[in-house]
């Protein structure tokens, strides 16, 4: 896909012509993924909580997990990758992978 300024984007990666060489920049901002699929120790912003169990949404709200909140995946369990240790703003919580799949996040700029 090519934009108006001559830059081409493909899955969040950006290429553009700079002089005689083709410049490559990884740009993952703007790509929404589930919290269960993100990299460890990167900050993300919660964009959406998927329609699911109302009790789960209520639990998320009680924990401070809502659209617009900053979240970081701190650690995954070593064997089964479940549960996940997440940090929401200044608090840390353990949630299951199935719960994390309900949270759609977007990576924040470094």
Tell me the average pLDDT across 85-89: 94
Distance CA 24, CA 39 (A): 21
Predicted TM-score of the model (pTM)? 0.68
Q: For residues 63-88, b (16+ Cβ closer than 10 Å) or e, as one string?
A: eebeeebebbbeebeeeeeebbebbb
Please, what are the domains in the chain? 1-30 (no CATH), 32-107 (2.30.30.90)
Tell me the average pLDDT across 10-32: 48
Q: Which residues contact 60 (CB under 8 A, 6 or more apart)?
A: 49, 66, 102, 103
Q: What is the pLDDT of residue 70?
A: 94
Distance CA 104, CA 71 (A): 11
């Amino acid at each position: 896909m090519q934009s108006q300024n001559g830059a081409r984007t493909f899955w969040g990666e950006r290429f553009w012509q700079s002089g005689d060489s083709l410049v490559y920049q990884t740009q993952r901002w703007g790509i929404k993924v589930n919290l269960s699929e993100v990299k460890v120790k990167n900050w993300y912003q919660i964009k959406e909580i998927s329609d699911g169990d109302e009790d789960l949404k209520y639990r998320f709200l009680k924990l401070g997990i809502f659209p617009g909140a900053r979240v970081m995946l701190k650690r995954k369990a070593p064997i089964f990758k479940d549960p996940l240790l997440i940090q929401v703003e200044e608090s840390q919580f353990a949630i299951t992978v199935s719960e994390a799949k309900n949270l759609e996040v977007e990576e924040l700029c470094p």
